[in-house]
Amino acid sequence: MSADSSSLSSLIAATAHWLTRAYPADGGALQRGLAEVQARQAVTVAAWLCYPTELDAQLVVLTGPGGSDRIDRITGTDSRVRTADTDAECDESWRSWVDEVVASWAACLLSHPDLAAAATRALAGTDHGSAVPLAFHRLTRPRAADHEAAALMRHPDLLEPIARLHRPRLLVRLDVETTLAG
């Protein structure tokens, strides 16, 4: 894995975690695992497109991705909620690594497999796409089990408030028509 890919690992992990908490899987450990894989794939593709070069990746790590405050408000997720098994300080720290643009782009990709396929093809033009040959099949060609596991996270109507935040920029980045996104 290239240095730029690993430098985005905290951003990718936090943003995928945010997606799985905002749109949780309903079921057991297998369904939660399948939903997490899908979130991770969508966020990875979105992050690599948003920060396509090693310099871009290093700059976002240096400046910080911005955090989840706005998207928490939009989804009704309160970052100040404390649960018995969650340390409030730790909870706040991972949220600071959530990237709103990446979360929005990932929401677009999760709700539209054709757009996800276009996004994975576009990775070839990034430093990341040439460094790590990966297939994102759970994102681009989800099976019935994938849809069941991530029913909330793949539901276009539920994702729309987050997806619409930065969809126009994603469509420009991918050079695709608006009709492909929905």
Q: Where are the domains of the chain?
A: 3-181
Would the pLDDT of 97 be above 70?
yes
For the record, the structure tokens of 104 come out as: 């929005």
Hey, which bits of 5-158 come out as E strands? none
Name the percent of the chain lying above pLDDT 90: 75
Mean pLDDT of the chain: 88
Amino acid at 49: L
Find, among 27, 26, 145, 45, the residue nearest to 105 by Cα: 45
pLDDT value of position 26: 86
Would the pLDDT of 3 be above 50?
no
For the record, the structure tokens of 97 come out as: 């690594």
CB atoms within 10 A of CB 155: 14
Amino acid at 114: D
CA-atom Rg of the chain in angstroms: 15
pLDDT value of position 179: 60
Q: Pick the residue with more confidence: 129 or 116? A: 116
Would the pLDDT of 16 be above 80?
yes
What is the average per-residue pLDDT within 120-131? 84
Q: Distance (Å, rounded) from C-alpha 165 to C-alpha 46? A: 14
Would the pLDDT of 12 be above 50?
yes
Find how far residue 25's CA is from the centre of its chain: 15
Total number of residues shown for the chain: 182
Q: What is the DSSP letter of 86?
A: S
Query: What are the angstrom distances between the C-alpha of 57 and each of 9, 14, 67, 122, 176?
Result: 10, 15, 16, 17, 24
